[in-house]
Amino acid sequence: ATNRSDVLDKALLRPGRFDRQVYVGLPDIRGREHIMKVHLRKVPIANDVDASVIARGTPGFSGADLANLVNEAALFAARRGKRIVEMQDFEDAKDKIFMGPERKSAVMREEERRNTAYHESGHAVVAKLLPHADPVHKVTIMPRGWALGVTWQLPEHDRVNLYRDKMLEEIAILFGGRAAEEVFLNSMSTGASNDFERATKMARDMVTRYGMSDVLGTMVYVDTEENGMFGKMGAKSVSEATQQKVDAEIRRILDEQYALARKLLEDNRDKVEAMTKALLEWETIDADQIGDIMSDRPPRPPKNMPP
């Protein structure tokens, strides 16, 4: 057996020999739940640990990823001097795997923390206000990996297809950080560079790959085999005029979604200010606290304050 069938000799793959290929995909939510139950037998767990909740919060995880999650949670519990692994340990392990380890040694100036808090609040508020966006699970301004802050959304279901309305909303959410910087700080930072890259790629794919443009219609404008825009250099598969139309349509999508993100933030200034204040005080807020802020209630204190 091999997971690199592309390197096998063609003679081995002729009919009657090793001609059967079985594709093993990533487990769905029920599969992840059953896999988690197998790995949870290896560690002593508290009564509050729910395999179904962990399965819903780990989309895209393989069996090996889930085994690693259990090991990380056990390490968190051991560092805290506990004899059993609690749900909070699994949450912290999941944060570490998804968002990277906390860089507690990183010293951020107060102005940097404030700017990051507004940036992440912009992402989170736009995501909460759009109808098709995935629920916001957690927002933090604790530096993790290479990021100074993270807004983490969790899908409610395993995602199979991408849809036009949802993709447009995701572009608006990506622009929420820069829009918040402009509206509330009257400045711009390089922190939005990755957001812009992802938004531009998504808009380009919508126009050139997925036929989601009313102007250009249902036609593919990218050579998928070459994995590059319009094929090889010097061998474009479309005319210069069509390429200009493609660029203009991508620009239109990006401009419209940026305008939407900015308008949502301008109309909900109080929610952005409240979320920024909570982030500056606690550094990390969860879905319950975000729900309080969006409902104009004072956010409840964190469930587990750090020792």
Q: Is position 63 within any domain?
A: yes
Residue 19 belongs to a domain: no
Q: Are residues 223 and 273 in the same domain?
A: yes
pLDDT computed for residue 180 by the predictor:
87
In residues, how long is the chain?
307
Q: Are 120 and 141 in contact (CB under 8 A)?
A: yes
For residue 105, tell me if it sits in a domain.
Answer: no
Closest CA to 99 of 64, 63, 141, 67: 141
Instruction: Please give the pLDDT value at position 251.
Output: 92
CATH number of the domain residue 44 falls in: 1.10.8.60
pLDDT at 269 over 60: yes
pLDDT tens digits, one per residue of 67-88: 999 999 999 899 988 899 888 8
Higher pLDDT, 231 or 273: 273
Q: What CATH number did the domain enclosing 224 receive?
A: 1.20.58.760
| Pair 127, 142: CB distance under 8 Å | no
Q: Which of 72, 91, 120, 249 is catalytic?
A: 120
Domain boundary among 99, 124, 144: 99
Q: Which two tokens stand for residue 25?
A: 């995909």
Residue 181 has pLDDT above 80, yes or no: yes
> Is 120 one of the catalytic residues?
yes
Is the CB of residue 215 less than 8 Å from the CB of residue 250?
A: no
What is the rounded average pLDDT for all residues in the chain? 80
Judged against a pLDDT cut of 50, whether residue 233 lies above it is answered with no
Listed residues 73, 99, 125: the one ending a domain: 99
- Element at 147 (helix H, strand E): none
pTM exceeds 0.85, yes or no:
no
Burial of 59 (0-12, 13-18, 19+ CB in 10 A): middle
Co-location of 190 and 263 in the same domain = yes
Which band of pLDDT confidence, cut at 50, 70 and 90, is reported for residue 146?
Answer: low
> Does 116 lie in the same domain as 94?
no
Rounded Cα gap, residues 154 and 84, in angstroms = 27
Residues of the domain holding 39 = 29-99
